[in-house]
Amino acid sequence: MTTDQNYLDSTRRLFHYYRGLGEKALAQVSDEHIHQQPSPESNSIAILVKHLSGNMLSRFTDFLSSDGEKPWRNRDAEFENDYADKIELLAAWNAGWEVVFSALDPLQSEDLDRIVYIRNEGHTVLEALHRQLAHYSYHVGQLVYLCRWLAGPEWQSLSIPKGGSQGFNAEKFEQEKTRRFFTEK
């Protein structure tokens, strides 16, 4: 596998990983939680999902052929806390990710050096993917934190639970050394 192909494969896996983290966190909260905010200036789960979805739809629709900031995007409206329920929230979440993967899946090594624009600023495809991966992981981290806070003691850890590091590491070091992506079981 070439370095470019490895990069594309790894990037796709990371986007899937962050989608999965968000989904596992969202599964642990109810309708009553999606609009709660730690403070009036903070984002709710609903706002984070709305912003992520809006960004995904804008950045990845016609990814290689049009500016990533679409004229139809209303970014300011993404910060209005107006999803009716979790079903509507999840529909927006899924719509955003579907557009992301529809753009990512056909990319080839030779596409990485192509130039795409976001607000008229040129990025190589590789740079644009880094930008979006960093942006989405930032907000998914916020989303996980909010879900963790709202779920309280019912929260099921999405990584190594507190106090579980020694056991986790012991299990890993009992296995043969192997090359695989960290999200693979």
Task: Note the pTM of the prediction, 2 decimals.
Answer: 0.94
10 in Cβ contact with 181 (< 8 Å):
yes
Question: How is residue 117 annotated by DSSP?
Answer: E
pLDDT at 161 over 90: no
CATH number listed for the domain at residues 3-158? 1.20.120.450
Cβ-based neighbour number of residue 101 at 10 Å? 15
135 in Cβ contact with 55 (< 8 Å):
yes
Q: What is the largest CA-CA distance in the chain?
A: 54
Q: Tell me what pLDDT residue 1 has.
A: 81
Residue 172 banded pLDDT, cuts 50, 70, 90: confident
pLDDT at 87 over 80: yes
pLDDT at 51 over 90: yes
